[in-house]
Amino acid sequence: MQDTFKLTQRLTLDYGLRWDYYALPTYEDGLQYAWDPSTGNVIVPQEALSKIHPLYPKTITVVAGEVVPSADKQNFRPRVAAAYRLKENFVIRGGYGAFTERIDYFSRIQGGGPFQISESYNPLQQPGQPLFTFPNPFPSILAAASQSVTGFPLKTDNGTIHQYNLSVEREVKSIGIRVSYIGERAIGLNYNVPNINKPPASDIPFTASRRPYPQFVGVTWARNDGAQHYDSIQVQALRRVGSFTFNAHWTWSNNMYNYGITEDPYNVTNRWARNAADRRHYAAISSVSQMPWGRGRRFLSNAPPVVDRVIGGWTLQTIGYLATGGYFSPAFSGSDPSNTNTSGGLPDRVADGNLRGDVRTKDLWFDPKAFAVPPKGRFGNSGFNTLVGQGINVHHLSLAKRFRLTERVGFTFTSAISDIFNHPHFQNPRNNISDPDPGKLTALIPDYNPEKQAGRHISMKLRIEW
């Protein structure tokens, strides 16, 4: 429900209330399961007990019970906004709205499990000993736990996303200028911890018996205590003069969330991380210009029809993107210092690691010496997405004209050049300090990115319209 009310000639108010209900799917054959972390039991419907796979390990207790989560019915979300015109060319706008987190439709319906079995064997790495020996590679591991499980709360609690903004818009010498603050605070977000079946990090060597649930190999659990903070400043300038339009937009943003570092299931939400998809600075500048020659234009306005068909009606468009780099994480591999059967992960951070712009090269984008493999007994202390990748500096140009053959038939010709200066853009560098050449840029950005910064491409297109 939403309404708009004009309080005065200068003040307009919008307000509303939204209710979201997300039903949860089920399988028609009833072969789905849940998992209870308090007991470690696998739960299946009563009528599905007879369908358990005969080879499902007897060390895992399977009981009858409820497996379908209950949907959240309390998702009432208000919103309110106002616009106030101080002067004819000066407006202030602001608003607040609460939104409901939508959990992926099929993420909480578990099939397979005890009904469709597969076996996974994870031999433990012992110092100085090979992982496998032949002809008998599994002499004693066959009796070890070989099943993994996924669980989630049966009482669904959708997170709440609070969004708010405040903008000032004013026309200054025929230029429309907008300055905005846009923020978000999200609470109660749902996310998965990939493996909670780890003992606490310690100096004690790992054994399967130290797992909280030794009957399983891996246990994934869904939590709903995630949070996200977003703050941004946006500035936009727009100008239209005759047949010319110029639009420039710049954003400064900071996007943090508290459920990115999940390698230690005992310490997840205390460690905030940057969002890898975010960029601290992002600018987009575009222009559209009608070429000033041909009928009705500044030059050659009296050109013959044949000449006008060739030179008249052309439109030139440009767009450029300038941005700082996205974020990525350092890593190490090949060892398990935490003694939790976790190979690799985040290293220790002993210095910043980000090199100055005038020092960075294609062969050394960040300083690998700023990171080290953690000592025995704990996980690494480095944050998530602490390193900054390559930024964006790309510009495009296109030239288009529409030719009319008859009143109903015409065609449009477009010639476009993307990344006109052919500026190379690379994906994030090698981030594993245990591998050769960490910090080296090795792979170019793919062509499907929205900014189209994968190198210069020239295209010509002809579209027929009727």
| Domains present along the chain, CATH in parentheses | 2-123+144-465 (2.40.170)
List pLDDT tens digits, range 173-213: 889 999 999 999 999 999 999 999 999 999 999 999 999 99
List pLDDT tens digits, range 81-105: 999 999 989 999 999 999 999 998 8
pTM summary value: 0.85
For range 130-134, the mean pLDDT = 73
Residue 333: how many other CB atoms lie within 10 Å: 13
Average pLDDT over the chain reads: 91
User: Could you tell me what percent of the chain has a pLDDT over 90?
Assistant: 77
pLDDT band (50, 70, 90) for residue 138: low
SS3 content of the chain, % helix, strand, coil (to 5): 5, 40, 55
Residue with structure tokens 């578990």? 110
124/65 Cα distance (integer angstroms): 35
Q: Note whether 111 and 134 are within 8 A (CB).
A: no
Q: Of 186, 326, 161, whose CA–CA distance to 258 is shortest?
A: 186
For range 108-127, the mean pLDDT = 77
Q: Of 102, 100, 83, whose CA–CA distance to 13 is shortest?
A: 83
SS3 state of residue 247 = strand
What pLDDT, on the 0 to 100 scale, is given for residue 144?
59
pLDDT band (50, 70, 90) for residue 302: confident
pLDDT band (50, 70, 90) for residue 295: low
For range 119-141, the mean pLDDT = 66
pLDDT band (50, 70, 90) for residue 121: low
Which two tokens mark 308? 């006008």
Residue 116 one-letter amino acid: Q
What pLDDT, on the 0 to 100 scale, is given for residue 434?
95
Q: Of 342, 404, 405, whose CA–CA distance to 379 is shortest?
A: 342
The helix or strand, by DSSP H or E, that contains position 288, with its residue range, turns out to be strand 281-290
Q: Of 103, 204, 233, 118, whose CA–CA distance to 158 is shortest?
A: 103
Question: Worst-scoring range by mean pLDDT, 116-125, 203-212, 273-282, 395-404?
Answer: 116-125
CB-hemisphere CA count at 13 Å for 25? Answer: 14
110/241 Cα distance (integer angstroms): 59
Residue 8: how many other CB atoms lie within 10 Å: 9
420/335 Cα distance (integer angstroms): 46
List pLDDT tens digits, range 26-67: 999 999 999 999 999 999 999 999 999 998 999 999 999 999
Residue 140 pLDDT greater than 60, yes or no: no
Residue 405 pLDDT greater than 60, yes or no: yes
For range 266-277, the mean pLDDT = 93
402/308 Cα distance (integer angstroms): 12
Mark out the alpha helices in 99-218 (DSSP H runs).
none
